[in-house]
């Protein structure tokens, strides 16, 4: 018994030690000159720079405590301040949020935005009159990560008409209520290859025993026919009012709205005018409604007019099918909901986060629902441009004729771009261009896999670590003569001429270690000898180590190899932290961060416990 409680105590004190070491590392990462206090301002800035927002519900208490903390904070107070949101703070300070280099990422999206804004091609949607009256120059982009980091630029706070962007969410609501099997008795899962408002239906053969051999259903839930069908499936026994309210509440949850939330999202707005106008002019949709009715697959109650009340003998009371009206009325109403790009990006981030809203942490959709929805978005979300769009951009996405496009990067972020000029397919021109630029710079295409090249970046990894990682493996392989690894890296389009933070390249290491085969392989790959940080070429590494065969090969290149401008013949001493700190990758990440003057990166590494004075093998 005694023994046990001793063990428990020891375990607890061990745990406490690691906890306060973690907290101390976080604290020191924020220190400036004085080691025992941090500036309140620095702490706030570090959190905001990580992409988190002051009105994030999860940080509300923390920011309140910071506001009453004065200019400086001591360690004991720091521990109390972070206690309400310790994990989130830890992730933010250590650079472990979904986008670790948030500032860098933001800057590169800013640049893309400044380029794309010049594109003024495309036309406003005109078949729904109010949509033809919006300011065509509007342009906004919002990105929300699964950790709730938020990037927004331009007209990110402008309400716009959701239109077809509601289709995937309606589909999710129907799936949640009725299940996959039942929903897909009414609507298919196949790309249509046709325009969004096409009247063609999919003919599906019936396996069940019935006298009907075939049934006709919409191709998928992302085109108008399918979306009118799924709208018809949502709580079909309820009144219109209750159904619309249900849908608005679901959207509210998706975008991070809640009655007592501090977060910016507002309850979804219904633009009655847009819905009415679409009712007047949406002939195509009215036709689709009846077409669906004719298939017998549109759910609803049958309550025919009991009796013809018309007294004129030559006339009768025209019957309008209520089932069709109900489905269309709800569909037009949901299309007419208005939101901002940040709100839609939040809904997209909820999909990226498997159904949990990043800022409220509430589960809005089941994981299975999201998993069932994303493949349909991927194959059919961009109407008859879906195939080409997916091939190039590689992300599930949905557009609407209101000018919005959203994209889901699973497990990472939701993106929404709003700009009302549309291309022939009805997709936002700037939205598509922005999406293409994002995937050409970042490795977020679902099928990117290991295929990379020097100027594409994995946004999930801090840039310094990315550099350390990508050149570290090649340098290591070169120094030990591991040709197989170098061949693989070359097939993945990795740049084998990239050096580490001291610009020491695989060729330097091959020369220094006498790896003749590696040197020949690098030359065959077109890698050219380059100087290191001190201006020295691998030639001198080979010379110092007397690798004659290497010198012979390099001599044949007929190049002028300059000597390094400082040469330590006999380096004396060792950085003692190297011996203690054996995580080489983190050390080289630290060196890269220092080389690019990345103070945030250095602070993040300190927060992870890396000693700042650690060094690498050089």
Give me the residues that bind ligand GLN (CB under 6 A), please: 163-164, 196-197, 224, 278, 282, 285, 335, 400-401, 426
Nearer to ligand GLN, 282 or 394 (CB): 282
- The least distance separating ligand GLN from the CB of residue 403, rounded to whole angstroms, comes to 9
Nearer to ligand GLN, 427 or 588 (CB): 427
What is the largest distance, in Å, between two alpha-carbon atoms of the chain? 114
C-alpha of 344 from chain center: 13
Nearer to ligand GLN, 140 or 400 (CB): 400
Question: Interhelix angle for 599-607 vs 2-30, to 10°?
Answer: 170
Nearer to ligand GLN, 163 or 323 (CB): 163
Question: Interhelix angle for 322-335 vs 272-281, to 10°?
Answer: 130
- The least distance separating ligand GLN from the CB of residue 298, rounded to whole angstroms, comes to 16
- Is 511 within 8 Å of 539 (Cβ atoms)? yes
Distance CA 101, CA 107 (A): 10
- The least distance separating ligand GLN from the CB of residue 162, rounded to whole angstroms, comes to 8
Nearer to ligand GLN, 95 or 282 (CB): 282
- The least distance separating ligand GLN from the CB of residue 164, rounded to whole angstroms, comes to 3
* Sign, CA torsion 215/219/220/225: negative
Nearer to ligand GLN, 340 or 600 (CB): 340
- The least distance separating ligand GLN from the CB of residue 32, rounded to whole angstroms, comes to 52
Nearer to ligand GLN, 197 or 515 (CB): 197
- The least distance separating ligand GLN from the CB of residue 505, rounded to whole angstroms, comes to 51
Distance CA 199, CA 216 (A): 12
- The least distance separating ligand GLN from the CB of residue 501, rounded to whole angstroms, comes to 50
Q: In Å, what is the CA distance from 544 to each residue of 475, 502, 511, 541, 563? A: 19, 19, 10, 5, 11
Nearer to ligand GLN, 282 or 420 (CB): 282
| Closest residue to ligand GLN using C-beta atoms | 164
Residue with tokens 């979300």: 381
Residue with tokens 């996959």: 180
Nearer to ligand GLN, 385 or 595 (CB): 385
- The least distance separating ligand GLN from the CB of residue 400, rounded to whole angstroms, comes to 4
Helix (H, G, I), strand (E, B) or coil at 580: helix
Closest of 122, 141, 146, 168 to residue 379, by C-alpha:
168
- The least distance separating ligand GLN from the CB of residue 285, rounded to whole angstroms, comes to 5
Helix (H, G, I), strand (E, B) or coil at 458: coil
- Is 542 within 8 Å of 514 (Cβ atoms)? yes
Per-residue HEC secondary structure of 152-195 comes to EEECCCCCEECHHHHHHHHHHHHHHHHCHHHHHHHCCCCCCCCC
- H helices present in 31-69, as ranges: 40-49, 60-67
């Amino acid at each position: 018994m005694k023994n046990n409680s001793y063990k428990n105590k020891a375990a607890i004190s061990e745990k406490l030690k690691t906890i306060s070491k973690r907290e101390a590392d976080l604290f020191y990462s924020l220190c400036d000159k004085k080691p025992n206090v941090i500036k309140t301002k620095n702490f706030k800035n570090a959190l905001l720079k990580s992409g988190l927002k002051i009105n994030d519900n999860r940080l509300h208490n923390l920011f309140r405590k910071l506001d009453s903390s004065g200019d400086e904070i001591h360690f004991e107070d720091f521990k109390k301040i972070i206690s309400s949101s310790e994990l989130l703070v830890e992730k933010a300070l250590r650079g472990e949020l979904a986008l670790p280099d948030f500032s860098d990422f933001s800057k590169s999206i800013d640049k893309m935005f400044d380029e794309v804004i010049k594109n003024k091609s495309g036309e406003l949607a005109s078949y729904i009159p109010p949509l033809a009256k919006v300011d065509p120059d509007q342009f906004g982009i919002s990105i929300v990560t699964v950790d709730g980091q938020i990037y927004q630029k331009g007209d990110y706070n402008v309400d716009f008409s959701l239109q077809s962007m509601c289709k995937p969410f309606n589909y999710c609501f129907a799936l949640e209520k009725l299940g996959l099997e039942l929903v897909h008795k009414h609507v298919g899962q196949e790309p249509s290859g046709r325009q969004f408002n096409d009247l063609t239906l999919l003919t599906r053969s019936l396996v069940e025993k019935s006298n009907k051999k075939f049934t006709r259903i919409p191709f998928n839930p992302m085109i108008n026919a399918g979306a009118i069908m799924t709208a018809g499936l949502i709580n079909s026994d309820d009144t219109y009012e209750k159904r619309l309210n249900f849908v608005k509440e679901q959207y509210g949850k998706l975008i991070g709205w809640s009655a007592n939330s501090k977060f910016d999202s507002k309850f979804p707005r219904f633009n009655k005018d847009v819905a009415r106008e679409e009712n007047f002019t949406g002939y195509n949709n009215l036709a689709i409604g009846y077409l669906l009715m004719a298939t017998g697959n549109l759910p609803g109650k049958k309550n025919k007019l009991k009796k013809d009340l018309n007294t004129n003998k030559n006339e009768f009371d025209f019957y309008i099918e209520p089932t069709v009206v109900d489905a269309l009325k709800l569909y037009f109403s949901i299309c007419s909901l208005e939101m901002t790009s940040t709100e839609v990006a939040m809904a997209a981030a909820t999909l990226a986060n498997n159904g949990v809203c990043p800022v409220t942490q509430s589960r809005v959709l089941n994981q299975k629902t999201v998993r069932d929805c994303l493949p349909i978005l991927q194959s059919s979300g961009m109407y008859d441009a879906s195939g080409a769009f997916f091939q190039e951009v590689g992300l599930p996405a949905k557009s609407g004729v209101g000018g919005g496009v959203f994209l889901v990067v699973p497990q990472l972020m939701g993106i929404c771009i709003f700009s009302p000029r549309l291309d022939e397919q009805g997709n936002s021109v700037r939205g598509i261009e922005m999406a293409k630029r994002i995937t050409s710079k970042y490795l977020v295409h679902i099928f990117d896999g290991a295929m990379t090249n020097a100027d594409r970046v994995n946004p999930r990894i801090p840039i310094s670590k990315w550099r350390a990682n990508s050149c570290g493996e090649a340098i290591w392989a070169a120094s030990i003569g591991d040709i197989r690894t170098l061949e693989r890296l070359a097939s993945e389009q990795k740049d084998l001429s990239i050096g580490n933070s001291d610009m020491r390249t695989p060729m330097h290491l091959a020369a220094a270690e006498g790896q003749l085969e590696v040197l020949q392989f690098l030359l065959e790959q077109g890698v050219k000898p380059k100087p290191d940080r001190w201006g020295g070429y691998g030639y001198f590494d080979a010379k110092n180590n007397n690798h004659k065969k290497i010198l012979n090969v390099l001599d044949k290149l007929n190049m002028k190899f300059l000597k390094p401008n400082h040469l330590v013949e006999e380096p004396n001493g060792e950085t003692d932290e190297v011996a203690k700190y054996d995580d080489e990758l983190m050390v080289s990440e630290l060196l890269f961060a220092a080389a690019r003057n990345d103070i945030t990166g250095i602070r993040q590494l300190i927060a992870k416990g890396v000693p700042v004075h650690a060094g690498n093998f050089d």
